[in-house]
Amino acid sequence: MPTETLSTFQLESGAELHGVPVQYRTWGQLNERRDNAVVVCHALTGSADATQWWGDLLGSGRAFDPEDDFVICLNAPGSPYGSVSPITENPATGAPYGADFPRVTIRDTVRLHRRVLTERLGVRSVRLAAGGSMGGMQVLEWAFEEKENGAPLVQALAPVAVGGRHAPWQIGCSEAQRQAIYADPRWQDGRYAPGEGPTQGLAAARMMAMISYRSYDSYRERFGRDRMTPDPATAAAPSTSDAAPPPERQNGEAAAPLPTENAPFAVESYLRHQGEKLIDRFDARCYVALTRQMDSHDVARGRGAYDEVLRSIEQPAFVVSIDSDALYPPAEQRELVDHLPNAQLDVLSSPHGHDAFLIETETLSKRLRDWRRV
């Protein structure tokens, strides 16, 4: 995937980054008027390759149509997938930023992406910014970006499964996850060498996150109280690190017999497996940096009273709510729609909780496409 490198970029905190890489991917062509851009924003563990997580929304006749749209997805700073982050080189030292990576806000991410978009890719106007969860936070910040003449740079917004500011419940989830990382001795205040990070703490953090991303009902439906087939090794002494994919449910209402009592529950194995999967593809410092970035999300910070700031967002907005979302609950999207002067609420009914924005993608694509056509 291509990367643009900005020579300098000043963060909200005042810290200045030099030689700042931003990785991105595009689909389709910028038109002559340079006004057909669609910015797609990724979530916490996503990358600029939107085909990996929103592929169903991308394509001919879909929500983002490369035959007509110039679709761009840019990797967020702090993410391990190509943009500036704790694992990229700090030009001042020649070594990765590591623990010295500065605090980045959602607003920083959008301003950085905006520079790549306008200065490097030549975009003059953005038709739509769309994204879920952390991506949705960026969407709401994109609303405030202006052209040189003061008009909005972005003409329409599609925030999904998100609110206008990170709530204390969400910050609490973030912080408990960070504390699990900090409890791992390999954290070393973030000063660990490549490949020697706090993988066990990161796995525990991911397990916590996975619970908040799904719903009580979806876990019940999928796992019940099934246990893994007893393995002599793990049955003898329950391991703290065994990981295996979950079995298909078979026994329905039948109770598990006593002899398997020491075998892990299917849901435990599933969560351990999810933890193991993430540590293979993510860095703990990046996880801390991005969750802190999400905690910074507050469209009102420095702009005035929250309700009034929302009322100042005049673009048409398609606000998607997931009825089973326990982490970014429907009340947050109703609040957005109550205050955004030109918004439509779309409720996605799904048992999958917050993760539905990555699961119910066919439905999401159709509805967003139809909204764009109106």
Which residue numbers are catalytic? 133, 325, 354
Site for a copy of itself (CB under 8 A): which residue of 26, 83, 133, 200?
200
Q: Which of residues 289-308 bind a copy of itself (CB under 8 A)?
A: 295-296, 298, 300-307
Nearest CB to a copy of itself, comparing residues 66 and 330: 330
Residues 31-70, one symbol each (x = binds a copy of itself by CB under 8 A, - = not), give ----------------------------------------
- The least distance separating a copy of itself from the CB of residue 171, rounded to whole angstroms, comes to 5
- Chain positions 76 to 135 lying near a copy of itself, rule: CB under 8 A, are 103, 105
By CB under 8 A, the residues from 210 to 239 that bind a copy of itself are 210-211, 214-217, 219-220, 222-225
Per-residue x/- track, 147-186, a copy of itself (CB under 8 A):
------------------xxxxx-xxx-xx-xxxxxxxx-
Q: Which of 77, 132, 152, 198 touches a copy of itself by CB under 8 A?
A: 198
Closest contact distance (angstroms) between CB of 325 and a copy of itself is: 10
Of 118 and 212, the one with the shorter C-beta distance to a copy of itself is 212
Residue 151 Cβ vs a copy of itself, minimum distance, rounded to whole Å:
25
Whichever of 121 and 300 has its CB closer to a copy of itself, that residue is 300
Selected range binding a copy of itself among 23-31, 81-89, 148-156, 265-273, rule: CB under 8 A: 265-273
Q: How far apart are CA 49 and CA 36, in angstroms?
A: 19
CB of 227 to a copy of itself, least distance (A): 10
Find the shortest distance in angstroms from Cβ 314 to a copy of itself.
Answer: 20
Residue 286 CA, distance from chain mean position: 13
Which of 30, 326, 337, 345 binds a copy of itself (CB under 8 A)? It is: 326
